[in-house]
Amino acid sequence: MGTTSSLLRIDGEFTIYRAAELAAAMKTALAAVADGGTLDLDLSEVVEMDSAGVQLLLAASRSAVTSGRALRLTARSAVVDEILTILQLTSLFGDVVAPAH
């Protein structure tokens, strides 16, 4: 049985160059969360984000919802904020929420 919430910190590049690594990390972290639980993502140390990073974030969000879990951002770097704002995705991910740990 998984935990009700889990925290995953992603730092450095959130780009195509790390897509496979990050997809696996998010899938593993999400699987460790119990049904109805939440995966908290800390993106405060992300220094670069491209369209692949956005796709990973959207896929993780969709996967969380379809598996009966939630995904929330507990911290975002200025780079992540800028990308989400430009793409008008801030409403999808909402305000940064402090983790319940």
Helix/strand/coil (H/E/C) assignment for every residue in 67-94 = CCCEEEEEEECHHHHHHHHHCCCHHHHC
Q: How many CB atoms lie within 10 A of CB 32?
A: 14
Percent of the chain at pLDDT > 70 equals: 91
Amino acid at 21: E
**Does 20 map to a domain?**
yes
- For residue 76, being part of any structural domain is answered with yes
Q: What is the pLDDT of residue 2?
A: 66
101 within some domain: no
Model pLDDT, residue 92: 86
Is the per-residue pLDDT at 1 higher than 80? no
pLDDT tens, 2-41?
678 899 999 999 999 999 999 999 999 999 999 999 999 9
Looking at the structure of the chain, the number of domains it has is 1
- pTM value is 0.87
Domain annotation covers residue 22:
yes
Domain of 66, in residue numbers: 3-93
Residue 83 lies in a domain: yes
CATH number for the domain spanning 38: value is 3.30.750.24
